[in-house]
Amino acid sequence: MQLILSMLKVQNIDKLNGIETPFYYYDIDLLQKTVSQIRELSEKHGIKAHYAIKANSDARILRLISAEGLGADCVSGYEVQRAADCGFAPAEIMFAGVGKTDKEIIASLEVGIGCFNVESLPELEVISEIAGERGVKAPVALRINPNIDAHTHKYITTGLEENKFGISEFEFQAAVDFLKAHTETLDFKGLQFHIGSQITDVENVFKLECERVSEIVATFEAMGVTVRNIDLGGGLGIDYEHPDEALVADFETLFETIDRDLVHRPDQQVHIEPGRAIVAQCGSLISRVVFVKNGQKKSFLILDAGMNDLIRPALYGAYHHIENLTSPDGPAAVYDVVGPVCESSDVWGEGRVLPQSRRGDLIALRSAGAYGAVMASNYNLRPLAKAVYSDELK
Ligand code: LLP
């Protein structure tokens, strides 16, 4: 584990120094190790993993993941197209999202995706109509709102009743009736769930989800449909505070919990859709200290990376570990680490203890591989940070 970190710190520092900052640095060895572990666990437990490409849709990263045989979970027609272009088998592409447009539905039917995860009754009607016009059968699963509290940040909780996602219990019968009446246009695959993101109490929260899902699957089968696929969604959390102690997320506990606590038959295929846990730790946003500004009460490290490059701290108050790569061993100092964007929320961390830092030092904002580059913007006309891959530095 330590080796990977020291590669970032020592071996590559000269090469990193020559690159214009800010940029995203991706540790390809770590990504490969993570994805290989998922493939092995998938085979061992008979559970299929579909990578939620919203977490990071960089083509190089997608190709590595598709080469290991994972499927793709997409939330827009653009993601469906990107997944197909980057080597995911069409039958292993799922399309979720509450607002699929006709254009996106048609394009996905043309790609031949494996499943639409349908989030409402009106959507079910539209997909059936479009499939009918084209003389094809659309593969569909129902996204169910299981009404479970995932004990995570309110902006990333999705399984509670008041969320916009999924079909709620009072609509189950109507959905089943519609499916039974439209077998010419709809091929019912099963049920899909997702209760939230950055879940760290893995065993307890996923056990709760499995128990609830088992009940819901039984309810549907009692209504006379066969649930062939059970998709538990994503949500596996990572350690933002100590990235080097947990470079690979706890996939083992996730797979074991599902295998143990989800009631399923051998003819039912279980799926998961992790995003963050696959890509977060392999990415760092690398930046440079532009100025060290000593105020009356505090010192500021002003970086050349801002909230437009990585919006998680400004949007969710998220913590990202900060490291000085140039002077890792200097005497400790306390800084408010901030970005250059004209917003007071453009703050990387307040009162952070770091080695004494100087203008020009390289700073790594860790665990930035998920929901980093994909959520970046051109705010203040700042260009998008480019990607640098560890194996291209060798
Ligand atoms: N499946 C569905 C249906 C989802 O909505 C999501 C994430 C995932 C899978 C993947 O979840 P993950 O394994 O990555 O937790 N921008 C936020 C996270 C938003 C997650 C949205 N849904 C952040 O930066 O924390």
- pLDDT, tens only, 288-297: 999 999 988 8
- Per-residue pLDDT at 175: 98
> Nearest to residue 158, comparing CAs of 148, 168, 167?
148
Q: Residue 73 is which amino acid?
A: D
198 has pLDDT over 90: yes
Note the pLDDT tens digit of each residue in 329-347: 999 999 999 999 999 999 9
User: How high is the mean pLDDT of the chain?
Assistant: 94
Please, which pLDDT band fits residue 159 given cuts at 50, 70 and 90? Answer: low
8 Å CB contact between 122 and 98: no
Residue 142: per-residue pLDDT: 98
**Do the Cβ atoms of 171 and 145 come closer than 8 Å?**
no
pLDDT in the model for residue 145 = 87
Atom of ligand 1 nearest to the CA of 276: 14
CA of 276 to the centre of ligand 1 (A): 7
How do residues 247-274 score in pLDDT, each as one tens digit?
999 999 999 999 999 999 999 999 999 9
Q: Given ligand 1 and candidates 143, 153, 154, 276, which is best to mutate, with the most ligand atoms within 8 Å of its CB?
A: 276
Best of 54, 98, 311 to mutate for ligand 1, by most ligand atoms within 8 A of CB? 54
Q: How many residues does the chain have?
A: 394
Does the pLDDT of residue 193 top 90, yes or no? Answer: yes
At residue 233, the pLDDT reads: 97
pLDDT at residue 4 is higher than 50 = no
Q: How far is the CA of 166 from the centre of ligand 1 (A)?
A: 14
Kindly tell me if the per-residue pLDDT of 78 is higher than 70.
yes
Position 10 pLDDT exceeds 60: no
pLDDT at 25: 96
% of the chain with per-residue pLDDT over 70: 93
pLDDT of residue 317: 97
Residues of the chain with pLDDT > 90, as a percent, come to 88
Give the pLDDT score at 12. 65
- pTM of the predicted model as reported, rounded to 2 decimal places: 0.95
In the predicted model, is pLDDT for residue 1 greater than 90?
no
Ligand 1 interacting residues, C-beta cut-off 6 A: 52, 55, 73, 96, 156, 158, 194, 197-198, 233-236, 273-277, 312, 371
Q: Which atom of ligand 1 is nearest to the CA of 375?
A: 16
Contact predicate 365/359, CB 8 Å: no
Q: How far apart are CA 324 and CA 154, in angstroms?
A: 32
Query: From atom 5 of ligand 1, which residue's Cα is the shortest distance away?
Result: 194
Ligand 1 nearest atom to the CA of residue 117, by list position: 3
Structure confidence at residue 293 (pLDDT) = 97
pLDDT band at residue 13 under the 50/70/90 scheme: confident
Pairwise CA distance, residues 251 & 109, whole Å: 32
Band the pLDDT of 6: cuts 50, 70, 90. Answer: very low
Q: pLDDT tens for residues 296-332?
A: 889 999 999 999 999 999 999 999 999 999 999 999 9
In this prediction, residue 147 has a pLDDT band, given cuts at 50, 70 and 90, of confident
Q: What is the pLDDT of residue 150?
A: 63
Predicted pLDDT of residue 136: 97
What is the Å distance from ligand 1's center to 324 Cα? Answer: 29
Give the whole-angstrom CA distance, residue 83 versus residue 73. Answer: 9
